[in-house]
Amino acid sequence: MFDDTLAAALGRAWADDRPWQVLSDLTQYDRMAGGPGERAAAETVADALDDIGCRDVTVDGFPMRAWRRGRTELAVTSPVERDFPAIALPYSPSGDVHAELVDVGHGTPAEIEAADLAGKVALAATDSPPESERFIHRMEKFGHAAAAGAEAFVFHNHLDGQLPPTGSLRFNQEAAVPGVGVSKETGAWLTEYAADGGELSLTVDAETRAGESHNVHGVLGPDTAEEIVVCAHIDAHDIAEGALDNGCGVATVVAAASVLSEIEDDLDCRVRVAGVGSEEVGLLGADALADELALDTVKAVVNVDGAGRARGLRVFPHGTDAFADLAAAVADAANRPVDVQENLHPYSDHWPFVRRGVPALQLYSATGSRDRGWGHTAADTRDKADARDIREHGLLAALLVRELSGRDVDRLDADGVRERLHDRDLKPGMEAAEIWPADWD
């Protein structure tokens, strides 16, 4: 696998400071979807792809529903009167709610079904029960609570640090009821007050309006009809720098592309390198890119969302068993561990391709935890990142793409994907989150 040209390219990558510079540039912008900072971030990535030597680099706009936060106020009014800090969750509508607070634990369907939420405020934790085989997404919890009649939703962190979490309640549309995030420490108080029949007053001021987001992409390798798409989302939440989620992912793609640009003669098909917008609010950039491309010519998608933020690399094959062999081959050749875990889920940029039958793998970091860590909080800052992790994941990503370019990969069968989702009991949650494909019923 390692000829002289490849070995030299990999060696030069260890001294390449461009990926770290891209991360530094991105973390200086407010990259909330549909805002000027996200557009500036797209231009930054375009400049990096140009510098690497990608061809036909373009920045494309697409319409979306942009959300902007205003004032948020939260107070317990019974059994005591006490104010707490809170932040509105994206696509929360404006509203004033005064109601009883009900603790629904982790916000599982069983916990919500057991609670009387009609006309009340649901309080749920960010983590999932230890016995759960999968991570239960925030949008599922919110959807089940709203369907049970909750007038509002309070999402409390399970990690220390006075860090209210953010994250969309809905994708690209205003939610039915207000939702806010509060810290673990505030959540502890609210849980205690809820046990005493406490009441809550919540005011949210927010706006959802027409906006525009942006994708950037260019190509490397031979000019073949078939191509591999390597993508990472450039947007982030407005409360943080978005270094880990997903500045490190973008930097990892830049690191990989810099290697691929030096070994273009080793590639058996074209590689499209893309930074996509508006992932955090609906996978909108990936969806726009999937609509733009002729998908019968897309051999596979490599979605870099979560990579570069810790030393270990993890691969999610998303229903394509052949990707496990691919990862093993690269791990053996590079003498680096690559962990493979089957984790088919619809909450990242592989999904618009997977549901259309395109094989896709996701590169993530093996952190030892299935939660977001610092992600989606104000603590997601550049000092948490390490250039060595970005370089290593970039090199491994380049080797994966190089190996993938010479392999045949079967298309995904929609019935097979549906069966896997059913087997993991994901359909009810996807329906609650309003993301189950309508044409699958």
Residues 48 and 175 in one domain: no
pTM summary value = 0.96
For the residues of 263-314, what is the DSSP string, one character each? -GGG-SSEEEEEEES--TTTSHHHHHHHHHS-GGGEEEEEEESSTTSSSEEE
User: Residue 18 maps to which CATH number?
Assistant: 3.40.630.10
| Local confidence band at 156 (pLDDT 50, 70, 90 cut-offs) | very high
For the residues of 213-248, what is the DSSP string, one character each? EEEEEEEES---S-EEEEEEE----TTS--IIIIIH
For residue 157, being part of any structural domain is answered with: yes
The neighbour count for residue 391, using CB atoms within 10 Å, is 22
What domain range is 121 assigned to?
Answer: 68-208
Residues 268 and 312 in one domain: yes
Residues 137 and 30 in one domain: no
pLDDT tens digits, 186-244: 999 999 999 999 999 999 999 999 999 999 999 999 999 999 999 999 999 999 999 99
Residues 326 and 406 in one domain: yes
Residue 137 clears pLDDT 90, i.e. is over it: yes
Residues 175 and 241 in one domain: no
User: Residue 141 maps to which CATH number?
Assistant: 3.50.30.30
* Tally of domains within the chain: 2
Contact predicate 121/92, CB 8 Å:
no
pLDDT tens digits, 253-269: 999 999 999 999 999 99
For residue 434, being part of any structural domain is answered with: no
pLDDT of residue 1: 65
Q: 208, 239, 271: which is the final residue of a domain?
A: 208
Token couple for 277: 């917008």
pLDDT of residue 133: 77
Q: 168, 184, 208: which is the final residue of a domain?
A: 208
pLDDT of residue 441: 73
Residue 67 clears pLDDT 70, i.e. is over it: yes
SS3 402: helix
For residue 438, being part of any structural domain is answered with: no
Contact predicate 42/216, CB 8 Å:
yes
